[in-house]
Chains A and B, each alone.
Chain A
């Protein structure tokens, strides 16, 4: 069974600075997808960024980018130029490409952005 670990329950960053959230996962599969979801205090969880495991190039979405290290089974999220609106709970998630479409989540990292 796959597992996802987020070792940082809480992180904080100063506005306009950069922060990196860690995520590691364990799987025996070679083909899968990885996601970062964000849940702001308003509770609606939204997709931040996604990565297909077969792609070597790291995904980027505006100020959000990932560092995907397949051999190390690591998938960290970097937020550049942090904004107050980035404050949220961030969840890392794994999905197999071949055996079901359920998401397996980490426990989440609560990000605080300080003005």
Chain B
């Protein structure tokens, strides 16, 4: 069974540009999460989808971040326009709905904004 995949693995962009990150969850997982780790600090929650609906987006830092999950499958996270402080590693995780709902993580996308 394929795990959570993320694209691209790395992205280097200039301040003001737009970047779109993609996450493909494990097949059959209705829950999809985005997290971010900035400057070696703790990993912080961004938002949670259940199928195509946003269940919790309280962790989104500002309106420059837009997440979508059309059709309840893969998800994209767009940053527009990117700022220096957006640099970090963006993780995606997915889980099945049910007891414990263990989250399985992707390898992350390393974003560097110059």
**Residues of A with Cβ closer than 8 Å to B?**
4, 33, 35, 37, 42-47, 50, 52, 91, 100-108
Contacts and interface: CB of A to CB of B under 8 A. Distances in A.
Contacts of A45: 91, 105, 107-108
Interface residues of B, number: 26
Contacts of B43: 91, 103, 105, 108
Interface string B31-70: 1010100001111110010000001100100000000000
B107 to A, nearest CB: 5
Contacts of B3: 44
A47 B104 contact: yes
B102 A50 contact: yes
Nearest to B95: A101
A105 B37 CA distance: 10
B42 A105 contact: yes
Interface of B: 3, 31, 33, 35, 40-45, 48, 55-56, 59, 91, 93, 95, 100-108
B56 A43 contact: no
Contacts of A47: 102-104
A100 B41 CA distance: 22
Given A100-B48, A102-B59, A107-B42, 18 more contacts: A4-B42, A33-B100, A35-B102, A37-B105, A44-B105, A45-B107, A47-B102, A52-B100, A91-B43, A100-B55, A100-B56, A101-B95, A101-B101, A102-B48, A105-B42, A105-B44, A108-B42, A108-B43
Contacts of B42: 4, 105-108
B106 to A, nearest CB: 7
Counting from the closest, the 4 A-B pairs by CB-CB distance are A45-B105, A102-B45, A105-B43, A107-B42
Among B93, B95, B102, B103, residue most surrounded by chain A Cβ atoms (within 10 Å)? B103
